Amino acid sequence: MNKIDVCLTPELLHLCETENKNVVVIDILRASSSITTALAHGIARIKPVAGLEECRALKKQGFIIAGERDGKKADGFDLGNSPFDYMDRSLAGKTIAMTTTNGTMAISKSKDAAKVIIGSFLNKKAVVDELLRGQNDILLLCAGWKGRFSLEDTLFAGAVVKDLGHDFQVDHDAALAARYLYDGTGSNLPAVVENASHAQRLKGLNIQKDMAFCLTFDKYDVVPVLKGEFLIIKI
């Protein structure tokens, strides 16, 4: 039986093998939610980029650039990182270069995986179905916040461990802890997550509506996957 594990923050990634695994990058508030929303709304490709200056250089090459630092839209960028930024019909078919505080960094650290998938509550069922079709061990990588634990990312990881518990062998205590955390709180996610540090940060930026949206289950039946240097919808 293949195994499923959870990496609670990218700081622990050196202890978790990613090669030959299907890695699900999780950044509920908000990178993986925004990426899922963007591709579901017809944006053709997203190029995850580690740094602000690299993104700014891509703007000169004709890319639309999107991103934030500490939740705030980056200076001179076309878009921030609210999922609502990516619903604009005029963006359909376009390519976007994106950089975020934690999410795009986590993606860049997963590049030697067998497959990199973007997971969010918005596409949880589609991600679980994709993982069930796979033949590899699974690593659920929580993007966290600047190396620290993220409650909302871990809750999502726990929800996926719960969904896959009969088909994959739980590997290590982080996966068990995530599952128990979700079992204990999953029935009232908004009330739990609103106390999380990044939710409080977003509240301070008056973007509560993003939180409610990012905690919506299975709004989109899409699976963003990394193909070369771009995130696209898996066909």
Number of residues in contact with ligand MLT under rule CB under 6 A: 12
Segment near ligand MLT (CB under 6 A), from 39-47, 101-109, 188-196, 219-227?
101-109
Q: How far is the CB of 206 from ligand MLT (least distance, A)?
A: 13
Cβ-closest residue to ligand MLT?
A: 100
Reference 172, options 140, 147, 149; nearest CA is 140
Residue among 62 and 204 whose Cβ is closer to ligand MLT: 204
Helix, strand, or coil (residue 71): coil
Structure tokens at 150: 């993220």
Distance CA 148, CA 155 (A): 15
At 210, which helix (H) or strand (E)? Answer: helix 208-214
| E runs forming strands in 13-114 | 21-26, 45-48, 64-69, 72-73, 95-99
Residue among 4 and 226 whose Cβ is closer to ligand MLT: 226
**Counting contacts by CB under 6 A, is residue 102 touching ligand MLT?**
yes
**Counting contacts by CB under 6 A, is residue 103 touching ligand MLT?**
yes
Q: How far is the CB of 141 from ligand MLT (least distance, A)?
A: 13
Structure tokens at 224: 């963003």
Distance CA 151, CA 166 (A): 24
Q: How far is the CB of 31 from ligand MLT (least distance, A)?
A: 4
**Counting contacts by CB under 6 A, is residue 193 touching ligand MLT?**
no
Q: How far is the CB of 100 from ligand MLT (least distance, A)?
A: 3
**Counting contacts by CB under 6 A, is residue 107 touching ligand MLT?**
no
Alpha carbon of 211 to those of 82, 190, 202: distances in Å? 9, 8, 8
**Counting contacts by CB under 6 A, is residue 30 touching ligand MLT?**
yes
Per CB under 6 A, residues contacting ligand MLT are 27, 29-31, 68, 71, 81, 100-103, 143
